[in-house]
Amino acid sequence: MQMAFKSIIKKILIIIVIAFAIYGAYTAAKDLKSYISYKINYLNIARKENIKNGVAKIPNLKLIDAGGNALALYDEIKSHEYVILSFGSIYCENCREEYKILQEKNSIDNLPENIAFYLCVPEGSNYIKAFREDTGITLPLYTIDKNEIDQCGIVDIPATALIGNDYKIKWLLTGFKENTMEQILEFIETCNCD
């Protein structure tokens, strides 16, 4: 009887040890998964901030015009000294007001030849066509995937980024400005961006 009792106690202890080992392995795996998720998220946030602050290269964004023609940002950067990307939305009142001012001042046509300018919105080509018809805005509007805008760290719109030929943001203006283009051109003249 005492032998059977000892055998039962021994089996119970083995089961308890195995249960603790399984729980420990489960907790360690859960903690590791949480740490990896945190690290990935942290690195993603840091990368976006580095792009926004001109430390890291901006991704090779794909801009699509109302006709479905695509432009690769890096190709545009290679053929210009600077590229200006204005991030907005056709549903954003401040963006619409900024587009209206840019058109009225003929700002884009008066840019130096070494500077390219693109208005980037997350809405699709059909929305751009309808927007043009409704507003009479003829500016170079391009659609860009919302995820690509997020990858640049752009949160507030309108936002206008000046990108140098090293693929880095040299200056970022956020919020509605009546003289966005003038500020950017003044910055280019006074900066030592090389």
pLDDT digits (tens, 9 = 90+) for 39-95: 767 677 777 788 878 888 999 999 998 888 899 999 999 999 999 999 999 888 998
Coil, helix or strand for 19?
A: helix
Mean model confidence pLDDT for the chain: 85
The pLDDT score that the predictor gives to residue 140 is 86
The pLDDT score that the predictor gives to residue 192 is 66
Distance CA 172, CA 105 (A): 21
- With bands split at pLDDT 50, 70 and 90, how would you rate the model's confidence at 194? low
Look at 105 and 38; give whichever has higher pLDDT. Answer: 105
Domain ranges of the chain: 1-52, 62-190
CB 119 within 8 A of CB 88: yes
Please say if the pLDDT value at position 193 is more than 70.
no
CATH topology of domain 62-190: Glutaredoxin (3.40.30)
The pLDDT score that the predictor gives to residue 1 is 60
Distance CA 114, CA 42 (A): 37
pLDDT digits (tens, 9 = 90+) for 159-185: 999 999 899 999 998 888 888 888 888
SS3 content of the chain, % helix, strand, coil (to 5): 50, 20, 30
Residues 6+ apart with CB under 8 A from 82: 114, 115, 116, 162, 163, 164, 165, 170, 188
CB 42 within 8 A of CB 50: no
Token pair listed for 64 = 């699509």
Phi/psi region, residue 100 (left: phi>0; alpha: psi -120 to 50; beta: rest), is alpha
What pTM does this model have?
0.76
pLDDT digits (tens, 9 = 90+) for 118-133: 999 998 888 888 888 8
DSSP letter (8 states) at residue 57: P
